[in-house]
Structure 1
């Protein structure tokens, strides 16, 4: 059993789609795989990101989805988890999240654990997602994109991962919005250079733009096999 944590350099980098595509890759290659979501905001009932994962995988909801194990904290208000929880007079219980991960690990070969927003999102005022990752030491898959500002956000993320000694398993470069081939090509070179500079020996996998994600496939063999 193996848990990989999937984080973005920021919100809206495509980490939900990346998580779904990785799960699909493992699933169609005969692996027992489940996705988990740290917390979901701006949603009611089953996590909308979990629903996207299952749609991309081409499978129905699992019992663990319906029971809330794959995402035990879902909040109505679309905000940072600490604020969304506060607005419902709740608090995110890290122990409950860890218990959910253990349950999933006991039943599946792979758990792809999607975070919320970027790396340093506050869970409470005194505890961030970065603190959680430093404690758990899950191999991290970091999702970046071609949008302007992504180089800055990616290099800052790499530097803090090195400082906090959080293991980086791989970098995903999401081509969306792909407004310039010059930016695409240059960004890959920059990221390859800085991965080496910060001492990370891990691959970069690119996700092209798909018209239909349900019929899309990406080769993630560099990450998993």
Structure 2
């Protein structure tokens, strides 16, 4: 029984896609796997991130989803988890998340957990998402991108992970969007250097943009990226 958390440097960075792809990869290897979104905000009806996971995994909505175990908290207000919970006249109980994880792990070999927002998003007044993961010794995959601001956010995230002694399982470089080649290559160089400086393996997984409308010629660019190390 293993679990891993997919986190990100910010919101809207590709966590849901990476979570679904990782779960699909584990599933094709023959393992029983499910995903979890402990807190979904801006949620009206079924949690959109869980639905996205299932589409990518080519899996149906199942009994664990129906019981609310894969998304214990689903709040209508589109804000930070602690605020969305307060506006719903409740609070996020970490033990409820623990119980849901334990139940899911009792029936699956792998549990892939998608975080909400960035690492230091508060679940409550005294608990951030990263502190929750640290207390449960859950390893982290960090998703980043070449968009402006990501260098600062990525290095701050790596610093926060190291300071709390959380295990970093890998860095995913999400290339979705139209980014200048110069920024794509330079940000990758900076990220690899930062991984080494913070004592993490200098391994980065590339996630190319597969949209048909994408104008970037990924073949030569990926060759250039590989040439960077």
Q: 1:135 and 1:60 mapped to 2: Cα distance? A: 32
Offset at residue 211 of structure 1 (A):
2.3
Gaps of 5+ in 2: 213-229
SS of equivalent to 2:158: helix
Q: Which residue of 2 aligns with 1:15?
A: 15
CA contact (8 A) 1:41 1:77 kept: yes
Cα separation, partners in 2 of 1:65 and 1:143, compared to 1, 3 Å: same
Q: Which residue of 2 aligns with 1:120?
A: 120
The one-character-per-residue Cα deviations of 1:134-158 (angstroms, maximum 9, x if unpaired) are 2112110000011110011000000
TM-score (norm 1): 0.91
Offset at residue 204 of structure 1 (A):
1.3
SS of equivalent to 2:123: strand
The one-character-per-residue Cα deviations of 1:161-183 (angstroms, maximum 9, x if unpaired) are 11111110011000022411111
Q: Which residue of 2 aligns with 1:51?
A: 51
| Range with bigger deviation, 89-98 or 172-181 | 172-181
Q: 1:178 and 1:5 mapped to 2: Cα distance? A: 27
Gaps of 5+ in 1: 213-225
Offset at residue 185 of structure 1 (A):
1.4
Q: 2:195 and 2:189 mapped to 1: Cα distance? A: 10
- Find the structure with the greater CA-based Rg: 2
Q: 1:203 and 1:102 mapped to 2: Cα distance? A: 30
SS of equivalent to 1:185: helix
TM-score (norm 2): 0.89
Q: 1:45 and 1:92 mapped to 2: Cα distance? A: 19
CA contact (8 A) 1:38 1:97 kept: yes
Offset at residue 114 of structure 1 (A):
0.5
| Range with bigger deviation, 33-42 or 171-180 | 171-180
Q: Which residue of 1 aligns with 2:146?
A: 146
Misfit runs of 4+, over 4 Å: none
The one-character-per-residue Cα deviations of 1:43-76 (angstroms, maximum 9, x if unpaired) are 1232110000001111111210011000110000
Matches within 5 A, 1:128-139: 128-139=128-139
Higher RCO structure (Cα 8 Å, ≥6 apart): 1
Q: 1:120 and 1:44 mapped to 2: Cα distance? A: 25
Offset at residue 2 of structure 1 (A):
0.6
SS of equivalent to 1:113: strand
Give the superposed CA RMSD: 1.2
Q: Which residue of 2 aligns with 1:74?
A: 74
The one-character-per-residue Cα deviations of 1:1-54 (angstroms, maximum 9, x if unpaired) are 110011110001111111011111111222211000020000123211000000
